[in-house]
Amino acid sequence: MKTLVLVRHSKAEDEYSNDFERTLTNTGINKAQKIANSIPLPPSKNVKFVSSEAPRAFQTAEIFSNFFNLLPADICTHTFLYKYFTLKQFLEFLETKYSNENNIWLFGHNPMLTEIAYNLSNGEIYSMPKCAVAYFEISSENWKFANKLNSELKFFINPNKLKD
């Protein structure tokens, strides 16, 4: 059994000269803190945080890491997660880098996160707004075999539907 949690980065700066370097706004920081504190399950000690190297994704991961009492140094980063990838490429990445991990929280970007969530949820999730959280349990021992038939969406937090 594997657990995959997809978290899209929170609200970032709109004005930028380099998309990669964008950082969270104060609104984005507050939203990420609110969402992290609303996660409907207890923190787990056996969790691996994996983030895009882009500052806005890493900052979101840092905020969520407080909920799990993880240090920023415990967050693994990869440039791959900033670039476009398909579900198949993503699962191969997980299998190559994290085959022994069973509980991964991934912090990244659209459109890739929406594509992964859409495919694993069999179309239930068609949009991953900023700071959305999609929690999947996958009945497989290997990441590369995850699919809509063995993945169960346990919860989805859409920040646009939460009360302020």
Nearest C-alpha neighbor of 126 from the set 135, 113, 143: 113
- The domain 2-10+23-161 is placed in CATH, from the list 3.40.50.2300, 1.25.40.10, 3.40.50.1240, 3.40.50.800, at 3.40.50.1240
pTM of the model: 0.95
Per-position pLDDT tens, the chain of length 164: 999 999 999 999 988 889 999 999 999 999 999 999 999 876 677 899 999 999 999 999 999 999 888 888 999 999 999 999 999 999 999 999 999 999 999 999 999 999 999 999 999 999 999 999 999 999 999 999 999 999 999 999 999 887 65
Amino acid identity at 141: E
Nearest-angstrom CA–CA distance, 6 and 130:
11
Domain boundaries of the chain, sorted by first residue: 2-10+23-161
Q: Are 84 and 59 in contact (CB under 8 A)?
A: no
